[in-house]
Structure 1
Amino acid sequence: MKIKRVLAALCAISALCSASLPAIAAQAQQGGVKKVETTLSADSIDYNVNTGDARASGNVVIKREGATLWGDEAEGNTNDEVMTLRGNVRGEFPEQDATLKSESATWTGDKSKRTDGLVEAFGSVRLTRGAEDYLNADYVRWEPGTENYAARGGVDGLLEKKILKADDARRSGNKFWATGVRRYEDLVEKFAVSARTVEGTLAPDPQTGQDALKDMVADRNVVLDYVDREGLKTRVTGDRAVYSKARGTIVVSGNTKAVRSDGKTVTADTMVVHEDTRVIEAKGNSRIIFVVDEEEQPADQKKDGGKNAKKSGAPARSAEKSPETGGTPKAESGAKRPSSGSESTLSDDETRWVEGW
């Protein structure tokens, strides 16, 4: 027989009403603390009034204002305001428009009542918010009622139109950090970056109200992908990348190299991608290399220096020329002229990327 205990009746001796089980924590009201009823139901419940220890098993349900949690079993202590659920854990947070699924989860309450407590989920965690946003990881720590979180282990998420794939990531207030970043893609600004570390600042967009990228720094093994004004994919690599919304630029520095999907490449000390024009500017020791298609001459024409080819109307070798400045990397004044050498300037990975492997 299913046992249900309305724990509000035990508040005077167990203090369970002040326990921040996964829900909205007790709220200040007219200078005091608002009492919030919490209920625990299960097939079997053991509760020690003296110590505050509680154990429940079989169809466990914990309900509190703003949240409901389910699991196969639960244990915790009402005095310490800690409760852990295990087995097929799921939760709903209607006021946050959020859901949670994991193998286990622990709720720790905030005795100061300044926050809604802390949820830590373990094993195949999936936290969703709204119709689109989600966060998958091996471990997620979340502060309900805020944007604050920490995740580690196979982090894969879509957060306010930003794709994140990393080893671990966290956010506190308007700041965010990530390490082992395989991809951080801003679907609004239309660029993606991978790096050893990424950190940045967010600010509300005045039009949409969503958090927009204000600035960002990516360090070590930086790879920047974007589409230029001609609609061609461009990949820029370097040691460090700095994005500024105010300046409208992404500055990549340290052994930089840009490769377009048509095979054109540029190397420089520093490259600046202009957000509005999608043009890239190369600065310092710049070198641009592009390939000119030529028709190979027959052996007999090569012997006479191509004279027969000219007579027959065959095209002569194209002269070197500077690339157009539209979407092609633009070198600073004094840079070397483009060359059309036959040697390969692309790594195996870059070649595969250009060829669309």
Structure 2
Amino acid sequence: MNKKQYMGLAVISAMMLLSVTAWAANEGPLTISADTLSYDGNTGRAEASGNVVITQQDKTITGANGWYNTKTREASLDGGVSLIGSNMAMSAQSVHSINDNQFSATGDVHLQRDDRQIFGDSVEYNSDTEYGKVLGNARLIAEGTTLTGNQVEGWLKEIRAVAQGDVTFNNPNRNVSGSADRATYTQTPNQNDGVVLLTGSAHAVQNGNVLNAPELKLYLNDNSAETLGGRSTLVISPN
């Protein structure tokens, strides 16, 4: 390599460093590392492949390949992606993010916020609002209750969830389970006041007793149930 070529590479490297540093001064420290890394200072896009690690603010995301745009704060990674934040973690086959807080994940997604977890084929999650939407084999676990469906929406900060399509729920601690077309689950964090509203062909089993109704409202704190919407059937299992 002649001196002119060397100086050209040095200028490119310096421009890359200045661009990232300037952006970091406004948005917080940013680090991108990979086996192979290229950067376009005009567009702000960094292309990375091989053991990619991106750290921004309180989050670190890793994957096999991906890119990050320092100007638009948009990123995309694939290949065994892992995301670790201050109070959340996520794994998936691929993750796309916008503004470092809005995440779209696909492929065996698992998201955990404290002791609350969601699983599914695809997940949309905002780390600021802590709202998540799960599509395909959706499952939410919170405060001992598991809720499944074709789709589950969850507000993890306040423990509120809505499930639709082939819904099931289960709470082993209360020895209660059920199914319906739709379910709404609410609970105050760290309080024993969970309520499950089953809508559409609602079915529940508790301690061997079976209850069927158009709608069922189950109170987990005292193991009571309320039927709604029409004719109901209770089958009591003898002791």
TM-score range, shorter chain: 0.7 to 0.9
In structure 1, the partner of 2:205 is 259
How do 1:67-216 and structure 2 match up within 5 A? 67-93=30-56, 95-96=57-58, 98-110=59-71, 117-130=73-86, 133-143=88-98, 145-146=100-101, 148-172=102-126, 173-174=128-129, 175-187=131-143, 190-201=144-155, 211-213=157-159, 215-216=160-161
Q: Distance in 1 between matches of 2:23 and 2:137?
A: 33
| Amino acid of the structure 2 residue aligned with 1:235 | S
1:103 deviates by 0.6
1:199 deviates by 1.9
Secondary structure, counterpart of 1:171 in structure 2: strand
Q: Distance in 2 between matches of 1:192 and 1:78?
A: 47
Which has more strand, going by share of residues? 2
User: How many equivalent residue pairs?
Assistant: 225
| Amino acid of the structure 2 residue aligned with 1:223 | T
In structure 1, the partner of 2:170 is 225
Residue 17 (1) aligns with residue 22 (2): no
Secondary structure, counterpart of 1:27 in structure 2: helix
Q: Distance in 1 between matches of 2:34 and 2:203?
A: 52
Q: Distance in 1 between matches of 2:208 and 2:219?
A: 21
Aligned residues of 2:138 and 2:152 also touching (Cα < 8 A): no
Aligned residues of 1:87 and 1:104 also touching (Cα < 8 A): yes
**Identical pairs, percent:** 20
Residue 250 (1) aligns with residue 188 (2): no
- Residues 274 and 70 (structure 1), Cα distance of their counterparts in 2 relative to 1, 3 Å cut: same
Deviation per residue, 1:211-240 (Å, 9 max, x gap) = 222x4321111111124xxx4421110001
Alignment TM-score, normalising by the size of structure 2: 0.79
- Residues 8 and 87 (structure 1), Cα distance of their counterparts in 2 relative to 1, 3 Å cut: closer
1:138 deviates by 0.7
Aligned residues of 2:103 and 2:125 also touching (Cα < 8 A): yes
Residue 239 (1) aligns with residue 181 (2): yes
| Amino acid of the structure 1 residue aligned with 2:40 | N
Q: Distance in 2 between matches of 1:24 and 1:241?
A: 45
Q: Distance in 1 between matches of 2:225 and 2:18?
A: 60
Deviates most, 175-184 or 160-169: 175-184
Q: Distance in 2 between matches of 1:6 and 1:277?
A: 70
Alpha carbon RMSD of aligned pairs, Å?
A: 3.1
- Unaligned ranges ≥5, structure 1: 29-64, 112-116, 203-210, 294-357
1:191 deviates by 1.7
1:266 deviates by 1.5
Deviation per residue, 1:91-117 (Å, 9 max, x gap) = 344x41x32221112101235xxxxx1
- Residues 236 and 85 (structure 1), Cα distance of their counterparts in 2 relative to 1, 3 Å cut: same
- Residues 275 and 144 (structure 1), Cα distance of their counterparts in 2 relative to 1, 3 Å cut: farther
1:176 deviates by 2.5
Runs of 4 or more consecutive aligned structure 1 residues displaced over 6 Å after TM superposition: none
Secondary structure, counterpart of 1:134 in structure 2: strand
